[in-house]
Structure 1
Amino acid sequence: MQRSRELCHQRRLLPGRDAPRHGVSGQDSPNLECGRATTPTNGPTQHRCRARPPDLRQLRPRRWASVRARAQGEDHRGGFAVWQDLADMEGGRDWWEQIAALLRRKEVEHLVLVLTPRAVASEIVRREWRLARQEGVRVTPVVDAALRPDFGKLPRALARAHTLDPAIDEQWRQLLRILEGPSGEPRVPFLAPEVPPGFVARPEEYARLKAALIDGGGDAVAITAALRGAGGFGKTTLAAKLAHDDDIGEAFFHGILWTTLGENPGDVTGRLNTLTRALDPLAPAETDRDLAVARWREVLAQRHCLIVVDDVWHAADLEPFLAGGPGCARLVTTRDEAVLPRERVARVPVDAMRPGEAAEMLSRGFHPAESHPLVARFNAFAAGLREWPLLLNLAHGRIARRVDAGHSLDDALTAAEAAWRAKGVGAFDARSPRQRNEAAAASLDLSIGALAEGEGPEAAMRLEELSVFAEDQDVPFWLVTGLWQSTGSLGALDGGDLLLRLRALSLLERYDAPRATFRLHDVVRARLRERLGPNRLRALDAHLAEVIAARAAGDWQRLVTEPYALSHLPAHLAGDGEAEGLEALLCDAGWIEARLGSGIASGEGAAGLMSCYRTFATGAVSRRVGQVLAVTGHDLAIDGPTQVIPQLLGGVILDRETEVARATWREALRSPALFPSRPTLVPSQMEVLRIHAGESGGAKTGHGSGGIVRPRAE
């Protein structure tokens, strides 16, 4: 019961709307009419039942089990659907994944937090509160007078929320009224990545940045702030830490948005759509950049958001994200100050760490009894690495690996010092980009050597192969283990173990176990690509394309929830030089439907799909497909993937070049559809409008999209 005293939840699902349609079968008690409700945490939870409201005055954590029994024992005549974490948590599944999955269910409207001293000190409570706000779930805190917490430890917004004591009759009735009504809460997006483990604070830069974004009263300042510094100096990590700051979340109470651009982001319209729809899920996903910017301005007009634009290389890519939002602030991370606007920019340089910070980064995680006597050596070693966070992280990974193998910390540090000295890393000038790159390459080579020494040369080859993936992208575990199975006969379990070892050596920038994805730092990726060379990269692109195709197994819809695979397959085919395969893919209606569906799900709409054709469509038929998508993309983002084939048949003219493709599209039609008998590339709906103008007596035909006609009731 100890964990249950930290936090309890109660969720209400609206009667009728949520009943059989959303029930989860096979896991409910036999006396329940419907399925489960939603959302766990650190305490038991209740099943959803058609019962009279349980006596919420019994919500004190030590009495929650009896409430559950009472709720299930009532006759089923309406009431609350309840989920309680410890009682309803499924064994064998990650507990946080269950919590997050339940919170994201559409029918969940309320979260009741029972606040105890342990609960307010729990980081899990903060994560759940943040996710509930992100999903538009109303959070109602309740207290037990006997276990009153210290509200000073809570986020300010939660601490200021009115708390209820169900033991007081009036407050008990107020709680019931809240739970009987809809949530009414807007979504508050939080898109920032998690702060990496082992984060070392940089107080001076952090304080300057925070002071630029919020004033002395804790209110938001509408300004553009910039973290400028060379690659690998910790700009992204510092921005992520700031995004998780409770004061920042309180000031920018409409949400924290985040997008990462990188050196080659392509058309940023899709990224802008994704952020727009994070704030307003009903906003249309525009395909035209100017319209997307106008929509962005519209949703930001009355909001106070922090918008983080990470890893900006070009001013033109940044420009759309700076539009609108008079109450919003932007935080930009970049290596080049020239990309920043000239006015109202608070510039915070992020260079080498201070000696104490650098030494802490090297010695973090080791027992103080061992690390404290070596402080002077850690300081000297960090100084030799010019307090560069990327190199410090690589060195720490090598030291930690030797310690884990049974060596003393003293011996592990001695070996690392000798290795870096032999490479001449300690002599570089941190102000010189060329010397920085050489030092980074030498340090990475040492880490790769340590990997080969401990795991064999095959492990080092597998690491190099990770550089085939696109820059600044989260790569799913299944895709890399599939690649390694193809190139090195490494099974999925062994591949997963190798990823963990790469993480332990600090060779991965991000390792997200709940989402089963990882990401390489772009400095590391660049060096690994140099080691591979163009011929090996081309071969790896071919292997990767085969792994993705095998995963689809002839049905691209299987990859709708795998955005990397669908989005980057054309790039990997192009990297392999497989022009024929690329042309076939771009003419495959099944892939187009899946790629569009993935874009709609992510919020970018059809913009990413259209950008793909602008980049890769070079064949006679694929160019025509691209022209059709350019005209109809906006409507396809609204009407959905089922309209792709009618649009293609209505827009691609039948001739010798398109004969085979059109026959394939006709065979793939899954339901009857109307489209113009003469293909046309006039703007969407114009053909139908022409019918209206030309018929006398009034047509009974409604507006369609791209010539697709829908009947309209009289």
Structure 2
Amino acid sequence: MTVEFRLLGLVEVVSKGVAVPLGGSKPQTLLATLLLQRGQVVPTTRLVDVIWPHHPPETARAVIQTYVKSLRQALARHGLLEVIVTRAPGYMAQVSPGELDLEIFERLVGEGRHAATPQVAADRLEAALALWRGPALAGLEDSLLAGEAARLEQLRLTVTEERIAADLELGRQERVVTELAALVAGNPANERLRGQYMVALYRLGRQSDALATYREGRKALIDELGVDPGPELSGIHTSILRADTGLLGKPAEPVARDVMPAQLPVVPADFTGRAAQIAALAEALMPRPGSWAGPVQVVAGQGGSGKSTLAARVCRQLAASFPDGQLYAELRGTSEAPADPAEVLGRLLKALGMDTARLPVSLEERTERYRSILEGRRVLVLLDDAASASQLQPLLPGSPACAVLITARDRLGDLAGAGHLDLDVLDLEEAVELLERIVGAGRVRAEQGAARQIVEYCGRLPLAIRIVGARLATRQRWPLRLLADRLAGEHRRLDELVLADLAVRASLHLSYQGLEPGARSALRRLGYLGVPAFGRWIVAWLLDCGEEKAEELIECLVDAHLADISSVDDLGVVRYRIHDLVRIFARERAEEEDPAAVQTEAVARVLRNWLGIIDQAVADSPPDEIQWQRPAVDVLGTGTVPATPDWFEAEQPALVVGVERAASLGLHDLVCHFASARLGPSFLGVNRFEARERINAAALAAARRAGDLRGEAILLAELGHLRYLQDRFVEAQRHYTQALDVFRQLGEPHGQAVALVGLGTTCREPGRLPEASYFLEQASALVQEIGDKAGIAYVQRLAGSVRLERGDFPGAWTRLAESLDAYRQLGSRRGEGTTLRTMSLYHRAVGELDEALTTAGAALTIFRQLGDRLMTAYAVRTKAKAELRLGRVTETLEPLEWCLSVCQAMGDRWGQAISLRTLGELHLAAGRLDDAEDCLTSAIELWEEMDAPLWRARAERDLALLLEARGLGAAAADVHARALKTFFDHGAREYTELTAVGKAL
């Protein structure tokens, strides 16, 4: 039941286990009134009378509307819509059958009163009374609902009397005698209860107590009502005096109902964490009043995750709620011979008091007897290590008062009606706490770093942590660092996780042996590849099969808890993951069971398919920069994989690990090919630097091991490009220079052109404009010579931008126009967009502000169409700066702040700096001098870090204007002079422009 409306106690609404806040007593009174007349319209006048029985305020109708609105909003926040609906002349509550406790109570009472047997009557009436959580409508005594609350309380008492009558008919006097004592004390004039109490006492051999109870009742009736006991109570008194055997009733059923087994296993004293799981299971295992079946919960998880310990812990907590006993059975689901259900039932029946000689022979008869004994009893059953739903079915009680908790490695999705909890590993803090409890708090706190490493090496798997903890506990002189170092090497980690009869490897082997051959093969190849997360396409490539078959095998691994779902993206693409220790085990199995050549070829297929997806992405968008001339690679089909930026970002962890693994296997051609494939910053995502760093390092090492000089040069150039993207220009120049030297040794003009273009860009960004022109002119000659059209367009744009920075406006426009024409001939939309953005800078520099705005807008449209967030931010900033020049200060603030947030999110320091500088200009124009100073000084600091003096000087020029606005003329002149010198040193166009400004200052 996901929604509960409660009136039998405090007025409450509970949605998915969470209480809905209802406000004070008056909104609660309103809701209760509507629920009591659910499905009927309650006039507003009636609601006014109920809420304010004496002196309603003049605004009562308006206040009721407010209460209704607040209740609707509170309910809607918990997903409950259309509970209170407006129907003239008032309101009506709409609840589904089974959601209101009063409705369930009335239904169960009706079933109990019309039951065919006393047993069923007792069960139904007991279930009805279990719904009560206190006095009905508690807290609403000051409203007109007090009368309704009294009626419900009287009904509760009547039902209690009827349930006790059924219990007495079943011979359960021991069960009810204590309850009756309390009820008679609270209701001394209630003759029926007193009579039932006397019967219970008499049947228990307490005749004198029964007669004393009669005397006390007679006195109470005379004192309170002035009457003698009625014929029923007097008749019971007479029967007791005569020792009437008819009053004894029928004997209790011969089944050993007084046997209360307590078989729960011991919970380790060092049990740690799992608070959320304990709470969820405890809630789910409590029988629901009105339900026809008791709760059944399955805790599924990989071997060693602590399923059995958690189950025992939860059952211990709930034991008091199941006073008729707790049963336990080990089902040996992971062994070669799972427990036979008939054998298990035999043990359970004996625990319930059945004589061995009377045990039925067949499984069916034992199941029937088991369920008969448990009918009407509150018993908790723990079934550990289940093999299958078919093994479990005979072991499930039929009584709705019983609960069953099951543990299994398989999810048991075919067990009808069961709830499921997938148990993952511990979180980091829980894992450290478990180690601390085993080893001792002092040792762990003294070496917290080593302790965290140990539990991470254990994959935060409880079994593994218990093993290493026990080893440390018996080796008091061992520092934690020693064991952490021993666990660091994956090749020996499973060897370290062994202690006596505990071994992670053995636990995993049991799950592995239970897999079908295809799933075993999939697990081995995933382990050999080593990826932390994967989609079904990777398994399809590893096994050279279709994706549907791959998904079927993955689901086998998921069901066995050897794999789990990692994420599901917006397109419904599912990615899975395997635990680190499972991965290590799987690699061991691969190296033991499969030829190395077979596994290496499987890894190669994965890389070839990734390359196919990259080539597909590039093919859909003509290049916007000079490209590597790479040898053809045998690329396979790419299946249904979407080649989108989001897909590439999610695939990054697998890409990196896959390339590193391929490099270690000697697949250097594929690795170098992969490392030199450029998709641009937007495709590589926010974490592109770390991923490219690792890919390049693995590929460069592989090329050097193979003696591949050309591959090494390509990767040096790619490393230069990476440093350029990181705004580490000095390092970028060093790597490009190294690459250029090798390409010149090899006599390869294309490689030389790539390296020269890289050198030109890394000089242009920090403002070393003469050097940038020098390298770009050489690159231009080479790309013209080899006829690289994309290279020509790219170099012309860069050369045009450098000429623009130096103040050569005619030369800049000529180069930019050639670049734009070349990109349009190629069909490169991204290249067209980048050139249009640079053209906008040209128009702004020469004062053509309307043209600057239009051109920037055209570039922005292209980047948005391409889904390139970073270049969209650059184009937005370019457009905003043109608008600033036109005096449009107000409307540019929000777009510029968005640009800054994008650059921050993508780790682009250069973009952050230019966005900050432009924001500084905006605030300066608006007269917000403090904000302007914050932005400009932040930009200056960033350019200092990146060693970009020309751009630092441009921000300093703006800072000089700010100082002048504050009346600090001398300071402004100093800053202006420093900026002017930088412009002169770098051959920038601002030198001429600022000379005149300086004279004015």
Q: TM-score range by the shorter chain?
A: 0.3 to 0.5
Q: Quick one: higher RCO (CA 8 Å, sep 6+), 1 or 2?
A: 1
Higher CA-based Rg? 2
Which has a greater percent of helix? 2
